[in-house]
C-alpha cells in the first residue's frame, strides 16, 4: 500500500501542490488525469521520492519513503518519466538492461538477459533488440522504456512483495493498437500485487481501464475514486472547461465521452 498525507510542494514562492492525501492499494489500477500544468508529474515525483515535499510524508506500506534504502527501493519501485532521450549511444537491449542494474553486480546473468528479452517481447520490440536506441521512432522509444521498467519489476515466482509502478504518459506516442495492448499489460500487472499509478490524458481510456481515478486541478485533488464517480459531466466542465456528452458503449455498456 502507498499512503501520502498532506503533501505540499513549492518551488521558489510558488505552491505547485497543496495538501494532497491519498491511498493507493496493490491490485488497483489508478489513472491520474488533469489539465496541463495541474501538478500530475509533480505528484508522481513526490510519490517516488524524486522530489521531497515541503510538507507531508509518503509511506510504502508502513515505511516512510525517505527511510527505505535505495537498493531496496530499486527492486520495489520503477518509474517511467516523460523524458525518453538518453545522452549515451546505447542499444535497445542496453536500455532494457538498465532495469536489471539493481539485480546484478558487473555483468548481467543469463536470467537477466532472458528477462530483458521477455520484456521486449511483451511490448512488441524484441525484433529491435540490437538496434541503436537513438535511431528509434518516438513510439518505439516509449515501448523500449516500458520494457525497461517491466524488467526492473520482473517478479520471480518466490517474490510475493508489493511492487510500485509509476508511468508518466506512457502511451502518449503509441498508436491505438499499442495504447490498448500496453494498458491491458499494465492492468494485468496491477492485479499481481502491484501499486500502479499512470498519468494519461485520454478520458475514455481511463473510463475503460482505470479502477481508481485521481483528477488533479490547480495543484489539488479535485476528485478521487471510481472513474464513473469522478469523471462526471460537471467535473469535466469545471476542470477542463468544455462540455462533454456521454454515451453508452453498445456492447460493454460502459460510459464513453464525446466532445
Ligand atoms: N522547476 C520548476 N520551476 C517552476 N515551475 C515548475 C517547475 N516544475 C514544474 N513547474 C510548474 O508546476 C506546474 C505543474 O507541473 P507538472 O509538470 O506537475 O504538470 P502536469 O499536470 O504534469 O502537466 P502536463 O499535463 O502538461 O504534463 C506547472 O505549471 C509547471 O510549469
Domain boundaries, the chain: 2-258
Query: pLDDT class for 208, splitting at 50, 70, 90?
Result: very high
CA of 253 relative to ligand 1 center, distance in Å: 36
The alpha-helical segments, DSSP class H, found in the chain are 40-48, 70-76, 92-97, 110-122, 138-152, 176-190, 203-209, 227-230, 233-240
| Residue-level pLDDT at 159 | 87
Name the residue at shortest CA distance from atom 17 of ligand 1.
Answer: 41
Non-local (6+) Cβ contacts of 115 within 8 A are 100, 151, 154
CATH of 2-258, one of 3.40.50.300, 3.60.20.10, 3.40.50.10420, 3.40.190.10: 3.40.50.300
Question: Could you give phi then psi for residue 167, rounded to 5 degrees?
Answer: -125, 120
Atom index in ligand 1 nearest the CA of residue 45 equals 18
Euclidean distance between CA atoms 210 and 162, whole angstroms: 19
CA of 13 relative to ligand 1 center, distance in Å: 14
- The mean pLDDT value of the chain amounts to 94
Q: Is the pLDDT of residue 202 over 80?
A: yes
Name the residue at shortest CA distance from atom 26 of ligand 1.
Answer: 36
Residues with CB under 6 A from ligand 1: 11, 16, 34, 36-42
Region at 241 (left for phi over 0; alpha for psi -120 to 50; beta for the rest): left
pTM assigned to the model: 0.95
Euclidean distance between CA atoms 170 and 163, whole angstroms: 18
Name the residue at shortest CA distance from atom 25 of ligand 1.
Answer: 36
**pLDDT, tens digit (0-9, with 9 covering 90-100), for 5-55:** 999 999 988 999 999 999 999 999 999 999 999 999 999 999 999 999 999
Non-local (6+) Cβ contacts of 151 within 8 A are 96, 97, 99, 100, 115, 116, 119
Percentage with pLDDT > 70 across the chain:
100
| Residue-level pLDDT at 136 | 93
> Which 8-state DSSP code applies to residue 100?
G
Atom index in ligand 1 nearest the CA of residue 35 equals 25
Q: Is the pLDDT of residue 157 over 90?
A: no
ipTM of the complex: 0.97
**pLDDT, tens digit (0-9, with 9 covering 90-100), for 68-84:** 999 999 999 999 988 77
Amino acid at each position: 500500500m502507498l499512503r501520502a498525507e498532506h503533501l505540499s510542494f513549492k518551488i521558489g514562492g510558488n505552491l505547485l501542490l497543496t495538501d494532497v492525501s491519498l491511498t493507493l492499494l496493490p491490485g488497483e489500477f489508478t489513472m491520474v488525469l488533469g489539465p496541463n500544468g495541474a501538478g500530475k508529474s509533480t505528484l508522481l515525483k513526490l510519490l517516488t521520492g524524486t522530489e521531497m515535499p515541503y510538507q507531508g510524508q509518503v509511506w510504502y506500506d508502513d515505511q516512510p519513503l525517505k527511510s527505505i534504502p535505495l537498493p531496496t527501493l530499486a527492486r520495489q519501485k520503477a518509474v517511467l518519466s516523460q523524458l525518453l532521450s538518453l545522452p549515451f549511444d546505447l542499444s535497445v537491449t542496453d536500455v532494457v538492461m538498465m532495469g536489471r542494474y539493481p539485480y546484478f553486480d558487473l555483468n548481467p546473468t543469463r536470467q537477466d538477459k532472458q528477462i530483458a528479452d521477455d520484456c521486449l517481447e511483451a511490448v512488441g520490440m524484441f525484433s529491435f533488440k540490437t538496434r541503436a536506441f537513438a535511431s528509434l521512432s518516438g513510439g518505439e522509444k516509449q515501448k523500449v522504456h516500458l520494457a525497461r521498467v517491466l524488467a526492473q519489476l520482473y517478479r520471480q515466482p518466490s517474490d510475493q512483495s508489493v511492487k510500485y509502478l509509476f508511468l508518466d504518459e506512457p502511451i502518449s506516442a503509441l498508436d491505438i493498437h499499442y495504447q490498448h495492448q500496453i494498458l491491458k499489460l499494465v492492468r494485468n500487472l496491477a492485479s499481481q500485487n502491484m501499486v500502479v499509478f499512470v498519468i494519461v490524458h485520454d478520458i475514455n481510456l481511463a473510463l475503460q481501464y482505470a479502477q481508481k481515478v485521481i483528477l488533479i486541478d490547480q495543484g489539488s485533488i479535485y476528485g478521487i475514486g471510481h472513474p464513473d464517480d469522478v469523471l462526471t459531466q460537471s467535473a469535466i466542465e469545471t476542470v477542463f472547461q468544455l462540455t462533454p456528452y456521454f454515451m453508452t458503449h453498445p456492447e460493454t455498456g460502459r460510459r464513453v465521452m464525446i466532445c
